[in-house]
Copies of this chain bind each other. A is one copy, B any other.
């Protein structure tokens, strides 16, 4: 039975199983949800066993466990390693969700006339990860598995995959593979399939500015002492110049500059600035001078404040000068910036611009290195052929602005290429309120993945 028929016959169950998985709030960033994160790893174990994997185990790490499962049919055949993550982003701000983030509902939208599943993690990454579990089910149930498969599903992706390197170092043999398959990215649109060939790296830091040793009355002290909030704003403002270039000395030294040809190739992807601004309800775009929107969010590094707090933030007014102000700042990196080096450059620079009237602390959080995959690899060609089978179109290679730091780690530790077959859309609002994943996209992913296995095995011969 071909994949399309099987998916049509079982789609209701496929959707309900995902919904059950989405009900568990596996928020890795918040220790309060530890039990739920663990519970999710157990649910993944069960689903891998049902899908036909052998030796499924929950592998302990210094952090959250990694779920492993495999199906080895012939040592002489190639091996595909599937990577995904079962943890999700915090749902904040919860009040902006139209339905509770962990009570999944299916609603029709303009882009998703067949319905979309609304829940935190629907797309990133429970939905996309579960496509692979269901594709596995199809292949084993119908004797269509053409090669060996290994699954490695982690629970710390949203907090920097801190235990993954530890795990890879200790399990190189167990994880040995010929290609790594990941669905944790998006495609251009439902009728323009694309394969992500580039990802940005990341450096995430938290900064703390301390002024006076206690909160002060802004009347008695205002004007005479450094206000840590004003100073923090001042320092953050200094991190970009008037052209929105980042001012940290050395920040751009190793940035890979794309050729005119490469930029021209990128510019071919269908894009409407007007539609983009309309979708975000902004009057004007904003970014680094000399680059287009699609370049700014993919081939150029960035510096964004992800959170800021200090002083009185409650109702009403409090005339206080706070003792401390804080910010969470992340930098998206491109080839060939080294995230450890960038973190150090940030720290050195941020401390250097602090006035004598305050104390500054920079706490490095986590990071990852950028990655670009060649489009002539076996894995890329197999993925391309799979999309042609099910979309009837050749997918467009696309740079993505997001980061999956582990892709570079895989190349280093396991010495194999990752293929990023994403079925989500930018409009899926991952990391935002009302995250969702199109039912069509979900089922199309399950339908397409087995074609990858077929082509990859044949091309490997």
Q: Are the C-beta atoms of A286 and B355 separated by less than 8 Å?
A: yes
Stretch at the interface among A187-195, A259-267, A317-325: A317-325
In the complex, which of the residues B30, B217, B403 contacts A314, with contact meaning CB atoms closer than 8 Å?
Answer: B30
Given known pairs A89-B318, A214-B96, A318-B92, the reply for A219 and B313 (CB within 8 Å) is: no
Across the interface, name the chain B residue whose C-beta is closest to A212.
B280
Answer whether residue A282 sits at the interface, using C-beta atoms and an 8 A cutoff.
yes
Q: Which residues of the other chain, B, contact A357 by a CB distance below 8 angstroms?
A: 282-286
Given known pairs A96-B214, A224-B296, A237-B237, the reply for A219 and B403 (CB within 8 Å) is: yes
Q: Which residues of the other chain, B, contact A318 by a CB distance below 8 angstroms?
A: 29, 89-90, 92, 306-307, 328, 431
- Per-residue B-contact encoding for A426-442, CB less than 8 Å = 1, 0 else: 10011111100000000
**In the complex, which residues 125-178 of chain A have their Cβ closer than 8 Å to any Cβ of chain B?**
158-160
Q: Are the C-beta atoms of B93 and A293 separated by less than 8 Å?
A: no
Answer whether residue A400 sits at the interface, using C-beta atoms and an 8 A cutoff.
yes
Number of chain A residues whose Cβ lies closer than 8 Å to a Cβ of chain B: 101
Answer whether residue A230 sits at the interface, using C-beta atoms and an 8 A cutoff.
yes
Q: Which residues of the other chain, B, contact A296 by a CB distance below 8 angstroms?
A: 223-224
In the complex, which of the residues B311, B320, B366, B431 contacts A432, with contact meaning CB atoms closer than 8 Å?
Answer: B320
- How far is B358's CA from A54's CA once the two chains are assembled, in angstroms? 54
Answer whether residue A226 sits at the interface, using C-beta atoms and an 8 A cutoff.
yes
Across the interface, name the chain B residue whose C-beta is closest to A221.
B297
Across the interface, name the chain B residue whose C-beta is closest to A323.
B96
- How far is B283's CA from A302's CA once the two chains are assembled, in angstroms? 33
Across the interface, name the chain B residue whose C-beta is closest to A215.
B432
- How far is B322's CA from A328's CA once the two chains are assembled, in angstroms? 12
Given known pairs A160-B317, A307-B318, the reply for A212 and B281 (CB within 8 Å) is: yes
Across the interface, name the chain B residue whose C-beta is closest to A239.
B230
14 chain-A/chain-B pairs, Cβ below 8 angstroms: A30-B315, A92-B312, A218-B431, A220-B400, A220-B402, A220-B426, A222-B297, A223-B288, A230-B236, A234-B240, A307-B318, A311-B328, A318-B328, A320-B431
Instruction: Mark A residues whose CB is within 8 Å of B.
Output: 28-31, 89-90, 92-93, 96, 158-160, 186, 200, 202, 204, 211-227, 229-230, 232-234, 236-238, 240, 280-288, 293-294, 296-297, 300-302, 304-322, 325-328, 330, 332, 355-359, 365-366, 400-403, 426, 429-434
5 interchain residue pairs of minimum CB distance? A219-B402, A29-B316, A307-B311, A223-B302, A226-B286
